[in-house]
């Protein structure tokens, strides 16, 4: 569904240049539910904006659903946003119109497409568990309920790819779990590819793959040993969930470069920037901090 290779994004303002992405690689399979995590400024939101057709890369290649976004005209980009991708923002003000009811908010994008809006809108509200609140305006809905309306709106154009930017950032833990369960249900029932951007590493407990971005590059991937569905089935049978349910991999680019997690560098007394000794021992590549005389 998504193929990013050596993706670069540079923002320019007057004489200042900011490199948001510097050679990022990412591959997402169709029907996958995955998360992208990273600290503020890591480049994760920049990546999401480009996947959603809201921004264009400076260099590299970006293909979504077989479409080369770097070759898109403005008309192509509008069609892509209407037909291929749905977007859920963290800020509900970007998703919803406050003086409309929940049902009217969902009907609006369907109306713009010239389709039968009422039946489709009701089905979408049912899918996110809000059919009983369809006549309520936004000030009568909780933050979590508003976010669920936003998810229904994002599904109005029958997207193949659903993008969510910090969808649980403004709700409590209980509601965050409900929203993530909705994403998982949509992914399973509709075969929808879902990419969630977040700063919360605990999200890994709900998805099967987490990609970490650091300094504008893919630094590591956290992959579940067993699928979430398998773990839930085992819990229902009375089995305990394993503490080490995930395994983390550092990601190496085509030039052989990889980012070592900061906590591992600290564990061996190495600096995050500087030289490392590299050797091969018993078929393994071993990284060691420089000896004292080498580091001077």
How far apart (Å, rounded) are the C-alpha atoms in residues 10 and 19? Answer: 4
- In this prediction, residues 198-216 reach a mean pLDDT of 80
Question: Is the overall model pTM greater than 0.85, yes or no?
Answer: no
Per-residue pLDDT tens digits for 249-279: 888 877 788 887 777 777 777 766 677 788 8
pLDDT at residue 208 is higher than 90: no
pLDDT attached to residue 3: 94
CATH topology of domain 30-57+72-259: Rossmann fold (3.40.50)
**In this structure, what token pair is assigned to residue 120?**
């489709």
pLDDT at residue 90 is higher than 80: no
Of 201 and 211, more confident: 211
Measure the CA dihedral 223/229/233/234, to 10°. Answer: 0
* CA proximity to 188, closest of 207, 201, 210: 207
How far apart (Å, rounded) are the C-alpha atoms in residues 206 and 51? Answer: 22
Residue carrying structure tokens 């007057």: 14
pLDDT attached to residue 26: 92
How far apart (Å, rounded) are the C-alpha atoms in residues 2 and 128? Answer: 25
Which CATH number is correct for 260-296, 2.10.260, 3.30.420, 1.20.120, 3.30.460? 2.10.260
Of 289 and 272, more confident: 289
Per-residue pLDDT tens digits for 3-31: 999 999 998 877 788 888 888 999 999 99
Element (H, E) at 103: helix 102-112
- In this prediction, residues 84-106 reach a mean pLDDT of 84
DSSP structure class, residue 142: -
Cα–Cα separations (whole angstroms), residue 225 to 64, 196, 197, 250:
27, 20, 21, 16
pLDDT attached to residue 161: 94
- In this prediction, residues 75-98 reach a mean pLDDT of 85
- In this prediction, residues 134-163 reach a mean pLDDT of 89
Q: Beta-carbon neighbour count of residue 258 at 10 Å?
A: 15
Domain ranges of the chain: 30-57+72-259, 260-296
Matching fold, domains 30-57+72-259 and 260-296: no
Q: Beta-carbon neighbour count of residue 260 at 10 Å?
A: 15
Per-residue pLDDT tens digits for 24-38: 999 999 999 999 988
pLDDT attached to residue 85: 93
pLDDT attached to residue 245: 67
- Greatest Cα pair distance, the chain, in angstroms, is 75
Element (H, E) at 190: helix 173-190
What is the residue-averaged pLDDT of the chain? Answer: 83
pLDDT at residue 198 is higher than 90: no
How far apart (Å, rounded) are the C-alpha atoms in residues 211 and 249? Answer: 10
List CB contacts of 12: < 8 A, sequence separation 6 or more. Answer: 18
Per-residue confidence band for 1, with pLDDT thresholds at 50, 70 and 90 = very high
């Amino acid at each position: 569904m998504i193929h990013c290779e050596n993706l670069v994004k540079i923002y320019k303002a007057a004489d200042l240049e900011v490199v948001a992405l510097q050679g990022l690689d990412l591959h997402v399979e169709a029907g996958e539910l995955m998360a992208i995590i990273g600290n503020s400024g890591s480049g994760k939101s920049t990546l999401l904006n480009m996947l959603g057709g809201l921004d264009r890369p400076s260099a590299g290649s970006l293909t979504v659903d077989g479409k080369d976004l770097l070759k898109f005209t403005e008309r192509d980009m509008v069609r892509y946003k209407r037909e291929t991708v749905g977007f859920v923002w963290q800020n509900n003000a970007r998703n919803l119109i406050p003086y409309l009811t929940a049902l009217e908010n969902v009907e609006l994008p369907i109306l713009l497409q010239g389709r039968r809006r009422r039946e489709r809108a009701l089905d979408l509200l049912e899918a996110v568990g809000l059919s009983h609140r369809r006549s309520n305006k936004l000030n009568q809905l909780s933050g979590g309920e508003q976010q669920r309306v936003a998810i229904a709106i994002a599904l109005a154009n029958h997207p193949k790819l659903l993008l969510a930017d910090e969808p649980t950032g403004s709700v409590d833990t209980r509601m965050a779990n409900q929203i993530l369960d909705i994403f998982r249900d949509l992914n399973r029932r509709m075969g929808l590819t879902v990419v969630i951007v977040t700063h919360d590493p605990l999200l890994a407990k709900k998805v099967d793959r987490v990609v970490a971005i650091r300094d504008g590059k893919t630094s590591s991937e956290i992959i579940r040993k067993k699928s979430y569905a398998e773990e839930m089935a085992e819990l229902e049978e009375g089995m305990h969930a394993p503490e080490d349910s995930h395994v983390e991999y550092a990601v190496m680019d085509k030039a052989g470069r990889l980012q070592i997690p900061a906590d591992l560098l600290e564990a061996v007394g190495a600096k995050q920037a500087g030289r490392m000794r590299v050797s091969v021992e018993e078929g393994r590549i071993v990284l060691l901090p420089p000896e004292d005389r080498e580091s001077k």
